[in-house]
Amino acid sequence: MSKKAEKHGGEERLIQAIQSFWGECRSDAVVLAGGDDCAIVRAVGRGEELLLTTDQILENQHFVRGGHPLGMLGRKALVRSLSDIAAMGGRPLYFLLSLALPQWSIGRALREFMRGMRAAAGEHRLDGFALVGGDVARADLFAANVTVAGAAPRGKALRRSGARPGDRLYVSGRLGGSLLGLKRLPAGKVDMRNRAVRRHCRPTARLDLGAFIREQGATAAIDLSDGLSTDAWRLADASGAALRIDSARIPLFRGATAADALASGEEYELLFTAPPRAKMPARRDGLALTPIGTVESGSGVLLESAGRTTVLEPSGFDHFAGSRTSP
């Protein structure tokens, strides 16, 4: 990590403490992971392209102090960027981490955060996934920015712009659970025995699924980070096509409504399209892959419900327009 102070001291010890959580991670792509002004990494293999993504978690925007277990917050900080790699059908290589730290977060809280992040890498079986740099600074509010580099076969990475009329629209998993879990967090002590709370606090990046659907001929994909209704519009706009969604086919998390499923952010499932000839199974490694609609000529997102067709308005998370899913 970069060192902005001229003298070694507390910042240096803090950096060393963060690096210690990743000390055993070694990647053949990394020449120099720390101790200099920049990391040095090798170019990806012949026939591959580099994927780069970044995401952040901000106190009072994505979480409230005392309302989220810090270990789970560390997990989510990493999963948010891993999910972007999954949506492109790629594999993660290494990452950078920058932290803005208020006084309350230094010490035990930071160790809990880093343990959660490290555990997430282990649970996703990211062998050789290495921390190669970043920054730390003191701040009034906590913030974590994670930048992940990944790779995908050249010209094969899934994009949002590939959907074509006649394709089928699929979604993985069941939707609405993250929103239900978020609603239960401000009530007091976090109950990780609750399925919805676990769904919100312990998301999973669908890395294996992303690679699988790419190999099966998927034409476009996006991860559901801001809600089905919002992310469906992004995919439709990028592809220059219309999406028609059958409300009755949306797979629901237990206890969730169709409205919950449309608005629920931080699901990190994959919304993707594929031509009818693509052999998409009903389940993949225990995860449901549900056809929920079709791609048509036109623009926007249409919702069929109870025999009526309406334009589906985005109802998910938007930092600058309010949200049904923000704390």
pLDDT of residue 97: 96
Non-local (6+) Cβ contacts of 83 within 8 A are: 203, 205, 206, 223, 225, 268
Q: Where are the beta strands (DSSP E) in 209-314?
A: 220-223, 242-246, 270-274, 283-284, 287-296, 300-305, 308-311
Cβ burial, residue 231 (10 Å; 0-12/13-18/19+) = buried
With a cut of 70, say whether residue 6 has pLDDT above it. no
Express each pLDDT in 99-108 by its tens digit. 999 999 998 9
Tokens 């993707």 found at: 272
Cβ burial, residue 45 (10 Å; 0-12/13-18/19+) = exposed
Residues of the chain with pLDDT > 70, as a percent, come to: 90
With a cut of 60, say whether residue 324 has pLDDT above it. no
Q: Please answer whether residues 158 and 87 qualify as being in contact, where contact means their C-beta atoms are separated by less than 8 angstroms.
A: yes
What φ, ψ does residue 69 adopt, rounded to 5°?
Answer: -60, 130
For residue 57, give the nearest of 144, 173, 120 by alpha carbon. Answer: 144
Phi-psi region of 118 (alpha: psi -120 to 50; beta: other; left: phi over 0): alpha
The residue type of 12 is E
pTM of the model: 0.89
DSSP string, 118-172: HHHHHHTT-TT-EEEEEEEEE-SS-EEEEEEEEEEETTT---GGG--TT-EEEEE
Q: What value, to the nearest 5°, has the Cα angle with vertex 13 and ends 11 and 19?
A: 105
Express each pLDDT in 18-58 by its tens digit. 777 666 556 677 887 777 788 788 888 889 999 999 999 99
Phi-psi region of 13 (alpha: psi -120 to 50; beta: other; left: phi over 0): alpha
Query: Could you tell me the pLDDT band of residue 5, with boundaries at 50, 70 and 90?
Result: very low
Query: Could you tell me the pLDDT band of residue 66, with boundaries at 50, 70 and 90?
Result: confident
Express each pLDDT in 76-100 by its tens digit. 999 999 999 999 999 999 999 999 9
pLDDT of residue 184: 83
Q: Where are the beta strands (DSSP E) in 139-286?
A: 143-153, 168-172, 220-223, 242-246, 270-274, 283-284
Q: What value, to the nearest 5°, has the Cα angle with vertex 247 and ends 227 and 238?
A: 50
pLDDT of residue 188: 58
pLDDT of residue 238: 97
Q: Please answer whether residues 232 and 175 qualify as being in contact, where contact means their C-beta atoms are separated by less than 8 angstroms.
A: no
Residues of the chain with pLDDT > 90, as a percent, come to: 71
Q: Please answer whether residues 236 and 299 qualify as being in contact, where contact means their C-beta atoms are separated by less than 8 angstroms.
A: yes
Using CA atoms of 153, 166, 301, 220 in order, give the dihedral in degrees to the nearest 10. 0
pLDDT of residue 38: 86
pLDDT of residue 3: 42
Mind listing the domains of the chain with CATH numbers?
10-153 (3.30.1330.10), 160-311 (3.90.650.10)
Express each pLDDT in 226-249 by its tens digit. 999 999 999 999 999 999 999 999
pLDDT of residue 15: 74
pLDDT of residue 7: 41
Q: How far is CA 255 from CA 76, 147, 179, 180, 316, in A?
A: 23, 34, 11, 8, 19
Average pLDDT over residues 165-183: 96
pLDDT of residue 108: 92
With a cut of 90, say whether residue 224 has pLDDT above it. yes
Express each pLDDT in 278-310 by its tens digit. 989 999 999 999 999 999 999 999 999 989 999
With a cut of 90, say whether residue 322 has pLDDT above it. no
Classify residue 266 by its DSSP letter. -
For residue 57, give the nearest of 120, 15, 100 by alpha carbon. Answer: 100
Average pLDDT over residues 130-153: 94
In this structure, what token pair is assigned to residue 14? 């803090």
Classify residue 43 by its DSSP letter. P
